[in-house]
Amino acid sequence: MHDIALEGCRATPLAGYLKALGVLRLLAEQKDSSIRGYWQNDAFVLRTALERKDIEDFFLHDYAPTPVMAPWNGGSGFYQKDNKAALTAIRNSSDSRLCLYRECLEIAEDALQGMNRSASPKGEAKAALLMDIRARMPDAVLPWFDAAVSLTSGTAQYPPLLGTGGNDGRLDFTNNFMQRLLDVLGLGPKSSGSNPRSWLATALYAVPAPGLVKSAIGQFSPGQVGGPNATTGLEADSLINPWDFVLMIEGALTFAAAVVRRHANDPAGVLSYPFTVRAVGAGSGAVGQGDEANARGDLWMPLWSGPATYAEVRTLMAEGRVVLGRKPARDALDFVRAVHRLGSYRGIHGFQRFGLLMRSGKAYLAIPLKRIQVREQPKARWLDELDKHGWLDRFRHFARGDRAANRFHVLRKRLEDALFDLSGREPRREEAQALMILLGQIQAALAQSEKAREVVPPVPRLSERWVTAADDGTPAFRIAKALAGIGGVGDEPLPLRVQLFPVRRRYNRWMTADAGERIRFYTGRRGRLPDVLIHFLERRLLCVQALNLPEKPLKSPAGVTPDDLVAFLRDDAMDARIQNLVAGLCICNIPEDHDKSVGDGTLPAAFALLKLALIPDGILRSLGLLGEQDHVPVPGGMVAQLAVGNRGNRAVQMAWRRLHASGLTPVFSRRDLPDPAGIDPRRAAAALLIPLRFGAVGRLARQVLEPGEMKADVA
C-alpha cells in the first residue's frame, strides 16, 4: 500500500477540498474500491495499492465523467440563447467514456420536448420539470441531482454549495463543466497550451502549471476569480486549471442533500444539507453584520486523520447533521458549540469553515474563515447555561430583528463573537470576566426596553463556576462579588439584582404590575457608584420595617478585607470596574468564600464604628457579641447624615449610641470619639453596603469594642 500526498488538494480553498473528495470518489467507484483517504498537514492523502502513474493514467484514459447537467437552468446549453458548443460536442462524440453522459443528455432533451426554449422555466413549471427529470434519470446521475436540487413536497430548494441549482448568477457550473471536460479528455479544440497530463499533475501534486485556461471558477476559489486588483495591472482574467474544475464538481456530489428526521416524533422531517448552516457574523473578522442577510450560508468541511473509504466518507456526509442538545444546529454559533460537544466524532479532528458571502458585486465567494480543532474529550458545557428556557435563542432572534434598537445588534455581535471564541474550552480569567460584564450589559439593555422584555426573559441564573472562573483575586473583584452576593433574610429573598434590574425576588422573571410585591425595589437608579450604593443601602434598610425583617438584609456569602475597604474609601480608582462587574456577578450564584484571610489592614476607627453598627445580628451572634434574643436596630439617621455629605461626627455619634444601647461597649468614650476627617462621607456611606469577611468583622469588633465582648474562641 502507498500513501500518496495530493499537495494540490488542500483544505483551502473550497475548490481544493472538493477536488480531494472528487479524486477519492472517482477512484473508489471506477478503479480501486479499497482506496482510502485522510487529511494530513492540510493536504489530502490517498492510501492505495495504485502507483502515482496508475492514478494519472486512470484519469487521462479511463475516467468516465458523471453526467453533470442542469436542463432546468438558463445558460446550461439547453436553451436558445445558450452556448451549446460543449453539450453538442459530447452528444456527437463516440468516446466510450461519455456513453452514459450522452444517454442522459438525450433523456433531458426528451423531457424538454414541447417546451418553449426561449428561456428556462420558472415557478411551478420549473418544479414540474425538475420532478420529471429526476424520475427519468438513471440512478448513477441522482447524486448530482440531489447535490444541486432538493425536492420536498413538490417544491425545489437549492443546497448552497452549488448555488441555485447548479449555477451562480450567469455562470452555469454544468455548461462550464462540459467545456472543461472536453479540455481534459482531449476532445476540445486544440491550442498551444493544451496539456491534459501536465494540468493533471498540477491539480493533484501542485507542480508548476503550464498554460491555464481563461474561464470562470465561480465561488469555489476566491483567489482565481480575477477582476480588479487581481494582478499587477488594473484587472486580471479568471484563469483556471481545467482538471481543477472537473474534479471539484465531481467532489461536490458527495454533499447530496437529504430529507432527515431529527427525532422520532418528527414524521415530516426537514431538509438538511451536510454540514451547512445559516451564516452569522461571529468568529471571524471577515464576516460583518451586513453580510448575514445576503450570505447563502456557512459550510463546515470535516477533516479526518484516519484513512477512510469513500463509502465511509459518504456516510459521514449523509449523517452530517449536527445537533445542539435537542435542536438542530441552525447557524455557525450553534454548529461550533455542537462540534465541541461531540469530541472526536467519527475520527474528525477539525472543521474548516467557509462563508458563502456576497462579494465582487452580487457574486458569491466561498471565503475561508476559521479552522476549528475538535478535542478528543469535550470540555465542560459551561456556556450551555445560557440556553435555559431558550434564552440565548430568544435574545439572538430579537436582537437580529427590525424591532431591536441598534444597541441590541451591537450586543448580539459581541456576545456571538465571545461564545464562538470560548466554545469548547475553559476561559481565561479575563475572558470570563469580559463575558460576565457583557451579560450584565445585555441584562441592563433588556431592562430598559419594554419591547425586549415582552419577548426575552432575563439572563438565566448562572452557576458558581462562572464566578470562580472570573475571580482574579483583586480588591475590585472581591468588592463586586461581595455586593452581588447580598441577599435577604430568612424566607424573604432580597438579592441585589432586584435593585439593579426590574426582576422578581423569587423567580427569574421580569417585574410586572401584577407581581404582588409589597415594596418597590427597582427604581432604575443610575449614576456614579457611590450614589447607586447609597441608594441601594437606604432602600434595603427601609425594607427592615416594610417587610418586618428580623435583621438587616446586608449579609453575603462573600466578603472583603479591611484593606479592600480602605482602598475603596481612599479614592474612586476601582469604581468603574466594580460597577461593571457587579451587574454581571448579580446574574450568578455567588459561592461562599474559601479564602478566609483578612490581611493586615485596619479600618479607620470612625468608619469601624459606623460599619459595626450595620453588621447583621446573625454575624454578631456568631462572634459572641449578641445573645440569641439581643438585637442591634438600624441607627436612625446615620446613613442620611453621611449621604448628605456631613463631614462632622454626628453619624459616628449615632453609631456609638446605637452600639452602646445594644449592650456593645465601644472603647471610645462619648466625649472622645474618633474623628472621621479625611474620609469622604458619601464614600463612607456607600462602603457601609459592602460586606466584610467574617474574620474581618471579628477584627473590627476587637478594634472598637472593649476587651471581653467576644467569645474566646473567635477573639
- Is position 307 within any domain? yes
pLDDT digits (tens, 9 = 90+) for 638-683: 999 999 998 888 999 999 999 999 999 999 999 999 998 889 999 9
Instruction: Using CB atoms within 10 Å of the CB of residue 629, give its burial: 0 to 12 exposed, 13 to 18 middle, 19+ buried.
Output: exposed
**How far is Cα 155 from Cα 134, in angstroms, rounded to an integer?**
13
- Is position 223 within any domain? no
Which of 47, 62, 77 finishes a domain?
62
* Secondary structure class of 588 (helix, strand, coil): strand
Q: Are residues 160 and 261 in the same domain?
A: no
pLDDT digits (tens, 9 = 90+) for 399-443: 999 889 999 999 999 999 999 999 888 899 999 999 999 999 999
- Is position 625 within any domain? yes
Are the C-beta atoms of 683 and 607 separated by less than 8 Å? no
Residue 388 C-alpha cell reads as: 435555559
- Give the model's pLDDT for residue 229: 45
Show the domain range for 163.
67-184
Instruction: Using CB atoms within 10 Å of the CB of residue 538, give its burial: 0 to 12 exposed, 13 to 18 middle, 19+ buried.
Output: middle
Closest residue by Cα to residue 251 from 5, 16, 6: 16
Residue 554 C-alpha cell reads as: 446586608
Q: Are residues 529 and 554 in the same domain?
A: yes
Domain count, the chain: 5
**How far is Cα 424 from Cα 375, in angstroms, rounded to an integer?**
8
Over its C-alpha atoms, the chain yields an Rg (Å, rounded) of 35
Q: Are residues 336 and 419 in the same domain?
A: no
User: Mean pLDDT throughout 617-624?
Assistant: 95
Q: Are residues 528 and 400 in the same domain?
A: no
Are the C-beta atoms of 437 and 453 separated by less than 8 Å? no
pLDDT digits (tens, 9 = 90+) for 267-307: 434 456 888 888 888 887 767 666 777 888 899 999 999 99
Q: Which residues are within 8 A (CB) of 263 and not within 5 positions of it... i.e. 6 or more apart?
A: 326
Say which residue the cell 474559601 belongs to. Answer: 594
Are the C-beta atoms of 666 and 609 separated by less than 8 Å? yes
Which of 353, 378, 403 finishes a domain?
378
Q: Are residues 540 and 668 in the same domain?
A: yes
Q: Are residues 691 and 549 in the same domain?
A: yes
Q: Are residues 430 and 534 in the same domain?
A: no
Q: Which residues are within 8 A (CB) of 497 and not within 5 positions of it... i.e. 6 or more apart?
A: 484, 503, 586, 587
Q: Are residues 665 and 535 in the same domain?
A: yes
Q: Which residues are within 8 A (CB) of 374 and not within 5 positions of it... i.e. 6 or more apart?
A: 339, 340, 342, 343, 344, 345, 348, 349, 350, 351, 424
User: What is the side-by-side order of every strand in the sheet holding 43-48?
Assistant: 2-10, 43-48, 36-40, 308-309
Instruction: Using CB atoms within 10 Å of the CB of residue 615, give its burial: 0 to 12 exposed, 13 to 18 middle, 19+ buried.
Output: buried
Are the C-beta atoms of 695 and 599 separated by less than 8 Å? no
> What is the DSSP code (8-state) at residue 361?
T
Closest residue by Cα to residue 148 from 273, 236, 284, 45: 273
Q: Tally the residues of the chain.
A: 715
Instruction: Work out whether strand 308-309 and strand 363-373 pair parallel, antiparallel, or are unpaired.
Output: unpaired
> What is the DSSP code (8-state) at residue 58?
I
Least reliable range by pLDDT among 86-90, 322-326, 555-559: 322-326
Element of type H or E holding 529: helix 529-546
- Is position 237 within any domain? no
Question: How much is the pTM?
Answer: 0.86
Higher pLDDT, 239 or 41: 41
Q: Are residues 593 and 482 in the same domain?
A: yes
Q: Compute how many other C-beta atoms are within 10 angstroms of the C-beta atom of residue 628.
A: 6
Q: Are residues 603 and 670 in the same domain?
A: yes
The CA–CA distances, whole Å, from 464 to 109, 515, 588 equal 68, 28, 6
- E-strand spans in 137-293? 150-152, 155-157, 167-168, 171-172, 213-214, 227-228, 235-236, 239-240, 258-260, 270-272, 276-277
- Is position 252 within any domain? no
What b/e string do you get for 302-331 counting C-beta neighbours within 10 Å, with b at 16 or more? bbbeebbbbebbbebbbebbbebeeebbeb
Mean pLDDT of the chain: 89
Q: Are residues 120 and 269 in the same domain?
A: no
Q: Where are the alpha helices (DSSP H) in 649-711?
A: 650-661, 681-687, 694-704
Which of 162, 184, 206 finishes a domain?
184
pLDDT digits (tens, 9 = 90+) for 181-199: 999 998 877 655 678 999 9
Q: Are residues 38 and 148 in the same domain?
A: no
- Is position 715 within any domain? no
Are the C-beta atoms of 261 and 269 separated by less than 8 Å? yes
Say which residue the cell 468614650 belongs to. Answer: 669
Rounded to 10 degrees, the C-alpha dihedral 569/573/577/579 comes to 50
pLDDT digits (tens, 9 = 90+) for 199-239: 999 999 999 877 788 877 778 888 765 444 444 444 446 78
- Is position 244 within any domain? no
pLDDT digits (tens, 9 = 90+) for 140-162: 889 999 999 988 766 888 989 99
- Is position 499 within any domain? yes
